[in-house]
């Protein structure tokens, strides 16, 4: 049998990394689905989609970067604009993300769109218009997919959707998504560093073994029986670093 001679300076094999990443996803989705108290196939299907993971990781990034002030969210939007401008300036890049230039252009924050983003954040820290959330995630999903995922996450109690008098909907994280990502990352860390049974190879355990304990812990956190995990300090130089 041929075996590739691959240098592993950190002692972690490529398969080990793949297994750990798969376990991260399994723990995340299992814990997220455990938040659904009334069975609904459409809601569960949306929660089990990559769109829910992308949205969860977006709010996790916002928290970890220490985005708190109006200036912080403005800078995030400007960085987003810069990335999209780079895509629109290159046909090859635009083809790579499989988006039409006009759709990319609509996702840029400018004029009234930027003002609405800032005003919503000023009125309530953490509040993002649902359409603006879709703009931030334009490279990951369509506007409709974002809406459906937000609705499902709201029905699972992981996001708050607040209608406004102007016919728009604000999306506000209540911390539950970030907590689930925290737990999933802790499993990933332990696997990569070999500090827990999860680090054993998939051949030594069932693919879902070890998930129950993590999800039960997450449920206890979300039900208020345990405190939310301590927020990690953002790295120096990040927006809003304390």
Report the pLDDT value the prediction gives residue 94, as an integer from 0 to 100: 65
How far apart are the C-alpha atoms of 72 and 240, rounded to whole Å?
Answer: 7
Sign for the CA dihedral angle at 155, 209, 218, 173 comes to negative
Report the pLDDT value the prediction gives residue 38, as an integer from 0 to 100: 80
pTM of the model: 0.75
Q: Which residue has the higher pLDDT, 49 or 11?
A: 49
pLDDT in tens, 32-52: 999 988 888 999 999 999 999
Report the pLDDT value the prediction gives residue 175, as an integer from 0 to 100: 96
Report the pLDDT value the prediction gives residue 8, as an integer from 0 to 100: 56
Burial class (CB in 10 A: 0-12, 13-18, 19+), 215: buried
- Decide if pLDDT at 127 tops 70: yes
Mean pLDDT, the chain, whole residue set: 80
3-class SS letters over the chain: CCCCCCCCCCCCCHHHHHHHHHHHHHHHHHHHHCCCCCCCHHHHHHHCCHHHHHHHHHHHHHHHCCCCCHHHHHHHHHHHHHHHHHHHCCHHHHHHHCCCHHHHHHCCCCHHHHHHHHHHHHHCCCCEEHHHHHHHCCCCCCHHHHHHHHHHHHHCCCEEEEECCCCCEEEEECCHHHHHHHHHHHHHHHHHHCCCHHHCCHHHCCCCCCHHHHHHHHHHHHCCCCCCCCCCCCCCCCCCCC
């Amino acid at each position: 049998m041929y075996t590739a001679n691959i240098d592993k300076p950190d002692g972690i094999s490529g398969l080990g990394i793949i297994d750990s990443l798969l376990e991260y996803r399994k723990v995340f989705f299992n814990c997220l689905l455990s938040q659904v108290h009334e069975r609904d196939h459409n809601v569960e299907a949306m929660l089990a989609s990559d769109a829910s993971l992308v949205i969860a990781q977006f709010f996790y990034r916002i928290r970890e970067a220490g985005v708190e002030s109006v200036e912080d969210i403005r800078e995030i939007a400007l960085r987003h604009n810069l990335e999209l401008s780079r895509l629109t300036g290159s046909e090859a890049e635009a083809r790579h993300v499989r988006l039409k230039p006009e759709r990319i252009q609509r996702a840029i924050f400018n004029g009234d769109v930027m003002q609405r983003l800032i005003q919503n954040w000023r009125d309530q820290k953490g509040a993002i218009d649902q359409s603006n959330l879709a703009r931030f995630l334009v490279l990951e999903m369509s506007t409709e997919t974002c809406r459906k995922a937000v609705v499902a996450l709201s029905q699972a109690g992981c996001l708050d959707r607040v209608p406004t008098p102007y016919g728009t909907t604000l999306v506000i994280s209540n911390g539950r998504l970030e907590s689930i990502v925290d737990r999933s990352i802790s499993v990933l860390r332990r696997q990569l560093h070999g500090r827990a049974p999860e680090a054993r190879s998939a051949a030594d355990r069932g693919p879902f073994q070890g998930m129950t304990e993590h999800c039960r812990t997450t449920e206890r956190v979300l039900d208020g029986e345990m405190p939310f995990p301590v927020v990690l300090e953002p790295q120096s130089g990040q927006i809003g670093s304390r």
